[in-house]
Amino acid sequence: MGSNRRIVAVDGLNLKVNQGEIFGFLGPNGAGKTTCIKITMGFLRATSGQVTILGKCNTDWRMRERVGFLPENPAIYPYLTGRQALAVCGRMFSLDGATLNRRIAEVSEQLGLDLELRIPLGKHSKGMLQRVGLAQALINDPDLVVLDEPMSGLDPIGRRMFREVILRLKERGKTVFFSSHILSDIEMLCDRVGLIHKGKLVMDTPMAYILEQQKQGGKNLEQIFMEKVGAVR
């Protein structure tokens, strides 16, 4: 028989991401990271509390025009070419004509997409789909970019390219919020890091503080992660 036991995926989470910073969102599998991101993006409804993005309710269409989102598993029509997929996404943001063509060219150059844009997406590797997925997240030149496991499936070249793109976004004053299991990327990129475990935020700390403590003989990010989630024996 099925169980009616209620599962709380995210419990009383209170989190603020500052404008212009890169925020890394950590947690073990099943901690509630993706659920939190889906609630933030308006795909799931929280039973209590509220979410504001760029000073507006997270379901306000005026806010959505200023946000780019890359889900963990981008769902893009496999029969479309990369260029067609970017064009469809751009038109959803009311881009057309010369503006749309310019944005497609800009994001394609950033992510090393050329021939790939002419091939149906169903023929691409996981890593190449991630590149196209990030391109569509940037097509509207958003002020906030939300990325769920953006480095998943990428080779070292792709990971480096993603890191460079994220850092360039920060240089332009954009805000980046991304979840990841790759602690080295968090250390290299993030201004601040949050750690969620069993639906609760158990850490929200500047990355510079962690690195400074590590220099003085303190714990590194991996050791802190393992301790916070109870994996230290």
Structural domain spans, the chain: 1-44+56-66+143-233, 75-142
Mean pLDDT of 124-138: 91
Q: At what angle do helices 207-215 and 221-228 cross, to 10 degrees?
A: 110
Please write the tens of the pLDDT for every residue from 51-62: 889 888 888 888
Q: Domain 1-44+56-66+143-233: what homologous superfamily?
A: P-loop containing nucleotide triphosphate hydrolases (3.40.50.300)
Q: Tell me the pLDDT tens digit for each residue of 33-44.
A: 999 999 899 888
Q: What pLDDT score was predicted for residue 62?
A: 82
Going by pLDDT thresholds of 50, 70 and 90, the confidence category of residue 5 is: low
Asked if 99 and 28 touch (Cβ cutoff 8 Å), the reply is no
Average pLDDT over residues 176-192: 93
CA distance 225 to 34: 18
